[in-house]
């Protein structure tokens, strides 16, 4: 079985996000970019399935500008067999991402597709679900446990009420939650090995995907600044001020 892992590049979770002064986006110059943490979990799960002998090949795919090769090398160093780079200078929205991934699925015929439940930059949490619908295959989202046997996968999902366990027929789409696993550390010799692994490059424009119905972002703005607090002497003054502001 082949496993396809969607592997997005995002602004690192430690970076303080800053809106550009002209409101056209967030600052990415000189900012550390990393794999989406949920996608790292997806890749780790795929690697574990390969190590158990359930999968033979793990392929990572990203839809990103031309400079994302180092990002894919990172996933290859972690252990993926090969990578597919769908090149586009622009950020893509979930529907376009799902359509592009579907094209890759048609070519690669994976038995399982694992994605992060969401990317930490736009927090959409839509690509996996859209992909399953377009592909017309089962989906198991927010997975915290994944077991594969034969042509079925048993998935424990994190839902509002607690945990839900479902069984899906393969091929299927699984999206990962935080507790599924803890991704491994990359070892130096594996970085060297990754340099010899294959990255296939495809232009997004060449896939023949419809761009219709896209969401337009008009501008970005940081959250409003909190106004300065005031120190009060006693409860009476506090109550007085609250009344004055019409809050009690």
Rounded to the nearest angstrom, the gap between the alpha carbon of residue 121 and the centroid of all alpha carbons in its chain is 9
Reading phi first (left if > 0) and then psi (alpha if -120 to 50, else beta), residue 15 is in: beta
192-211 mask for another protein (x: CB under 8 A)?
A: x-------------------
Near another protein by CB under 8 A: residue from 53, 123, 136, 188: 188
Residue 223 is a binding residue for another protein (CB under 8 A)? no
Segment near another protein (CB under 8 A); pick from 144-152, 188-196, 197-205, 231-239: 188-196
Among 23, 25, 31, 133, binds another protein (CB under 8 A): 31
Backbone angles phi, psi at 101, to 5 degrees: -65, -35
73 vs 152 by CB, closer to another protein? 73
Indicate the helix (H) or strand (E) that contains 149.
Answer: strand 139-149
- Residues near 108 by Cβ (< 8 Å), separated by ≥ 6? 2, 4, 59
The binder of another protein chosen from 53, 150, 189, 208 (CB under 8 A): 189
- Quick one: which of 26, 124, 186, 199 contacts another protein (CB under 8 A)? 186
CB of 128 to another protein, least distance (A): 25
| Residues near another protein (CB under 8 A), total | 21
DSSP assignments along 79-144, one per residue: T-SEEEEEE-SS---HHHHHHHHHHHHHHH--SEEEEES--TTT----HHHHHHHHHT--EEEEEE
Nearest distance in Å: CB 209, another protein: 31
Closest to another protein by CB, 28 vs 125, is: 28
Dist CA 4 CA 83 (whole Å): 9
Least separation in angstroms between CB 183 and another protein: 8
Closest separation in Å from C-beta 13 to another protein = 9
What residues numbered 65-94 form the site for another protein, per CB under 8 A? none
User: Where does this chain touch another protein (CB under 8 A) — which range of 27-35, 91-99, 132-140, 141-149?
Assistant: 27-35
191 in contact with another protein (CB under 8 A):
yes
Pairing outcome for strands 162-169 and 152-159: antiparallel
Beta carbon nearer to another protein, 212 or 224:
224
Strand partners, 62: 85
Given strand 2-6, what is the order of strands in its sheet? 162-169, 152-159, 139-149, 172-176, 112-116, 2-6, 57-64, 82-87, 199-203
Residue ranges in contact with another protein by CB under 8 A: 12, 14-16, 18, 21, 27, 29-32, 182-189, 191-192
């Amino acid at each position: 079985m082949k496993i396809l892992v969607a592997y997005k590049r995002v602004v690192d979770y430690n970076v303080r996000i800053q809106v550009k002064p002209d409101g056209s986006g967030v600052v990415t110059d000189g900012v550390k970019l990393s794999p989406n943490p949920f996608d790292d979990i997806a890749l780790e799960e795929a690697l574990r399935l390969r190590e158990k002998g359930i999968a033979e090949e793990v392929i990572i795919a990203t839809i990103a500008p031309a400079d994302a090769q180092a990002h894919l090398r990172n996933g290859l160093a972690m252990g993926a067999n090969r990578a597919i780079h769908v090149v586009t200078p622009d950020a893509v929205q979930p529907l376009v991402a799902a359509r592009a991934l579907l094209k890759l699925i048609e070519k690669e015929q994976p038995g399982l597709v694992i994605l992060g439940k969401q990317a930490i930059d736009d927090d959409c949490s839509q690509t996996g679900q859209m992909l399953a619908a377009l592909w017309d295959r089962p989906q198991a989202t927010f997975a915290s446990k994944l077991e594969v046997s034969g042509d079925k996968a048993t998935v424990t999902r994190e839902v509002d009420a607690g945990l839900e366990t479902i069984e899906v027929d393969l091929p299927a789409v699984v999206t990962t939650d935080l507790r599924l696993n803890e991704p491994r550390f990359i070892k130096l010799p594996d970085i060297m090995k990754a340099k010899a692994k294959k990255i296939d490059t495809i232009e997004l424009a060449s896939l023949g995907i419809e761009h219709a119905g896209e969401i337009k972002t008009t501008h970005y703005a940081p959250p409003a600044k909190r106004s300065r607090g005031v120190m009060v002497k006693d409860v009476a003054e506090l109550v007085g001020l609250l009344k004055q502001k019409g809050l009690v």
